Amino acid sequence: MTAEVATPRTVEEAVKPRKKKPVRSDRAKAEARLGWMLAGPAFVVMLLVTVYPILQACYDSLFSYRLTAPDDKAFIGLRNYIEVITDPVFLQALLVTVVIMVVSVIVELVLGFALALVMHRAITQLRGLLRTAILVPYGIITVVSAFAWFYAFDINSGFVNHWFGWVPGISTDLNWFAQQGTSLFVIIASEIWKTTPFISLLLLAGLAQVPSELEEAAEVDGATWWQRLTRVVLPNMKAAIMVAVLFRALDAFRIFDNVFIMTNGANDTTVLSLLAYRTSIGRLEIGLGSAISVILFLCVILICFIAIKLFKVDLAGARGES
């Protein structure tokens, strides 16, 4: 039957198979029903916990609405959005978020690839040890990582200033969390430490898919180590790299924990997530906070759109769905 469908002789026949389907429709229907019965609950729960809140946020964002004065709720159209995007605090937060995202993704890509190569090439006796070590940051709570890095650099309880006093610019008087640049440095360092294992595992899976014959052939032809890496290995794992970059970019764009713990947004280190949190949970301005939430959501969609359209990242294909 499938052969018939696959080779339609006329246009009419090409359309026909749809009508022909009833032949096996009872079984197909039963299978579909069972499929949805099994997968339906998970699907519905996923939609309920995300689509409903985001729709509610879209609705709330059109109102002047703060919980401290709930009776003054009034429809104001897009005024919340205008207020948000013309606010220098928002633009500053957007800039800081993008800087954190770009720097951490670039460093993590290089570092993660190096770690992936190490795991890929490691002799069997070392492989388990290396993998365990690399997984430790992955398993550690982000807040714990934030405190570990914070205390290490802290002017009072830290040791970094004492250890690295010989580096120009670092002395026991340096308060890392008193200005923007040094604060962001520590925040990004903690972020990189915690999430590089994830990116390196994605890249490790990509490395495993590079056909080893290709590399061997290049070696026989006299290609240097660097040539093999840049001409053979990297082009062959482009899909894995793209997926890893996109996932980490989206993740880094949502950064919250590290900033909250280390600076709580002091010295111009506020990021978008923290701004949304402070507006709605801190100041109880639901209308304005919802507008920031929706903007944050739209940014994520935009990043995805750019990645998929411009860089042709095939998420479904790369994530196992053929």
Segment 108-147, which members bind another protein (CB under 8 A)?
115, 118, 122-123, 126, 128-145, 147
Distance CA 262, CA 150 (A): 6
Nearer to another protein, 11 or 138 (CB): 138
- Token couple for 72: 């003054």
Footprint of another protein on 176-195 (CB under 8 A): 190, 193
Stretch that binds another protein, among 4-12, 24-32, 76-84, 173-181 (CB under 8 A): 24-32
Q: Which neighbouring-strand residues pair with 74? A: 64
Q: What angle do CA 21, 24, 27 make, to 5 degrees?
A: 130
174: how many CB neighbours lie within 10 A of its CB?
Answer: 18
Q: Is 296 in the site for another protein (CB under 8 A)?
A: yes
DSSP 68-118: TSGGG-EE-TTHHHHHHHT-HHHHHHHHHHHHHHHHHHHHHHHHHHHHHHH
Number of residues that bind another protein (CB under 8 A): 106
Q: Is 310 in the site for another protein (CB under 8 A)?
A: no
Q: Is 174 in the site for another protein (CB under 8 A)?
A: no
Stretch that binds another protein, among 9-17, 25-33, 80-88, 101-109 (CB under 8 A): 25-33
Residue 64 main-chain phi, psi, to 5 deg: -85, 110
Footprint of another protein on 68-107 (CB under 8 A): none
What counts of helices (H) and strands (E) characterise the chain? 17, 2
Q: What angle do CA 172, 186, 300 make, to 5 degrees?
A: 165
- Token couple for 258: 């590290």
Question: How do beta strands 63-64 and 74-75 pair?
Answer: antiparallel
Q: Is 14 in the site for another protein (CB under 8 A)?
A: no
Q: What angle do CA 191, 193, 199 make, to 5 degrees?
A: 90
Distance CA 207, CA 239 (A): 11
Minimum distance from CB of 10 to another protein (Å)?
Answer: 26
Query: Binding string to another protein for residues 27 to 56, with x set by CB under 8 A, is what?
Result: -x--xx-xxx-xx-xxx-xxx-xx-xxx-x
Q: Is 313 in the site for another protein (CB under 8 A)?
A: no
Minimum distance from CB of 82 to another protein (Å)?
Answer: 19
Q: Is 163 in the site for another protein (CB under 8 A)?
A: yes
Stretch that binds another protein, among 3-11, 74-82, 150-158, 210-218 (CB under 8 A): 150-158
Minimum distance from CB of 16 to another protein (Å)?
Answer: 19
Footprint of another protein on 249-268 (CB under 8 A): 250, 253-254, 256-257, 260-261
